[in-house]
Amino acid sequence: MAALTDYVAMVVLTQIDPYRAPMAHPSVLNVFEEPDLYPEGMTDWDIDYMHAVYDADLNRNSVAGHRAEVTRALTERRRQRSSEDVSLGED
């Protein structure tokens, strides 16, 4: 049930097309294709993507500009997560 509610939240809050092909990244959006992989719901990638959608500066004049800004925000967030994971491993 957690995976289903996270799936619905992800689709609604980020306005992702639920009929697209499966995500290339580990994502709760793949829960119907691979239900055993996502019993807990959202992955780190899903959380980072959701934050990127809401952190992105969407004052662009085009869809491509919005997409580029979300991509930039997601890349930055993933880079920060990677840095934090490395820092935690050093202690």
pLDDT of res. 75: 93
The tens digit of pLDDT for each residue in 29-84 reads: 888 888 887 768 899 999 999 999 998 887 877 888 888 999 999 999 999 888 87
The span from the CA of 36 to the CA of 11, in Å, is 20
pTM exceeding the 0.85 threshold for the entire prediction: no
Residue numbers of the domain that contains 9: 2-90
Dihedral angle computed from the Cα positions of residues 10, 55, 20 and 41, in that order, rounded to the nearest 10 degrees: -30
Task: Say what the pLDDT of residue 84 is.
Answer: 77
Q: Which amino acid would we find at residue 67?
A: R
Q: How many domains does the chain have?
A: 1
